[in-house]
A and B are shown apart, each in its own frame.
Chain A
Amino acid sequence: MTVHRLRVGVVGAGVMAGIHLGNLARLGHQTFVHSESGAAALANEVGAQVCGNYSALLDAVEWVVIATPTDTHHQLALEALRRGRDVVVEKPLARTYRESAELVATAESLGRRLRPGHVVRFFPEYVHLHRAVAAGTLGELAVLRFTRAGSYPTRAGWFADLGRSGGIVFDQMIHDLDQARWLAGEVAEVSAVSRRDLSGAAPVQAAHVVLRHTSGAISLASGVWGAPNLEFRTTFSVAGTGGVLEHDSARERPSTAQLADAPPTEGLLPARDAADDPYLAELIALLDADPDRDPVVSAVDGAEAVRLAEAALASLESGQPTRLGG
């Protein structure tokens, strides 16, 4: 699957770090891990080498995969770029647009690759959607709708800290803000409303963001961090002059199981093959050194998504739409 064995270092020890590390190992790359805590346990699963500090990891690798809390992305990525490494950064690229723009400029001036982990671009339903739009199947896009809903992330405290994570808009909805821009082009205006309710057994947060694209198309992204019992569900509906395409992840399951005795399937399921694993497909594309191959998502895309998220937060603050110049 991979031609060239790379030396790749993963920074972080959470869920995304685990996923990327596992896929890097599957791809046959030589793997390293550094994290403030939990690195050893993670490295053990795939036989990666643990690096006690970030500098040591940077010394050892060609590529860095940053899968740490959002507000650490900028510093870690900057250091890696300056050390002459190529970098994959989990979304969002950084906590602010200013930081994101600095990363883009730094990568550009140093001639380094910087790729944001916008994995939704690799989910097959979104691949189909983008291809159809690019092929002109839907004509001129008019109204786009996206939803992304799951349970409130209580696993790690930093998610709920708006200053650290950017909240639901930066952490979850950014995927759909990126999708809207990828499909319907640059955005002129962003308007958002949001609500967080702490009255129940667990917090619930939701937001709606509407975008006016320079093309005149309008997009709605809705995000939910809901009750603990919520299953993760994404939808889209994109209407243009040439037709409509829709998807609801809750309705597109190839099988349902109603079994008398169904213990958790963790560990029981075989690994998904590449065609079925967007995270694997993403890594393959992002680490691809071939200059003629489209990495699907660029550093600028990562920065622009952050810009949209920031504009949404500004709208929440001001109670008015945020206009984007240029």
Chain B
Amino acid sequence: MREEIIVSGRMNPNIDPHLHIWHWQIPLYLFLGGLAAGLLFFVALLTIQGKEDKYPTATRWVTLFVPILLILGLFALFLDLKHKLFFWRLYTTVRLESPMGWGAWTLMIITPLSMIWAALNIRLIFPNWNWPWQWLWDFESFINKNKKILAWITIFYALILGLYTGILFSAFNARPLWNTSILGPLFLVSGLSTGAAVIILFSKNKEERHFFARIDLMLIGIELFLITHMFMGFLASTQVQIDAANLFLGGPFTAPFWVFVVSLGLVLPAILEFMEIRKFKIPAFLPAVLVLMGGLILRFIIANAGQMSRWLY
């Protein structure tokens, strides 16, 4: 490995003028992490409310997918590392001031939690599942008795997982597009929305689909509000933020963002879900697929546009 001594960030072509550090692995992980956070949030919330039998897909079937999503996301993160063999060092320290540290520890806690939820529902696919050791049977009955406590812990960590993906970007104040605290809630709401979309896709129960379509409609409304206010915030700030916002208002990201993320990924699913509430016949998978596509493209665009935004010198 050839090493260079770099005295200032301006000598590094990967940093100045545009950042070329985070490639496809990061936005893909952000999407999967947000989706897992959304799914776990609904699982935990409906379990706390005792509505497990009313919404079986949302509380039981999706738990089987969440560990897979988290593992794929973690693998994407692992692929992004330069010194892959040293990934474990993230877990040798707790740094409260590091969003990446928060993220690593939250994932470390939420992945086993999601596996516990999946283990509770394993009999949906394998009805005669037998644990090989007695302590697993005891653990299962212990968790089943204290399911509500598990759900409260899960809701807490699911919210942190959804929020921290945005806060991770917003802590990066060298890139003006990312340096806004709206990114945290925006990514959380987007994650919840994609979670609702997946539930709609897999649900066989009409009442459940309608319930989550209404929830998704509300989440899309909140997301549009957050995006609007994000741009209002940028345009009311200093010149660097205005330049960052102009990437989306006439710059290179204008067409992809407003057409694919906002129009096709938010507004059109909202219109279709509203029509569905008004009893028009809409194929249920279409708004869900559009929301998922919009969420994925949103993360790719924010990651790439953020790396392009820069301070004036």
Asked if A and B bind, the verdict is no
On A, residues with C-beta under 8 Å from B are none
On B, residues with C-beta under 8 Å from A are none
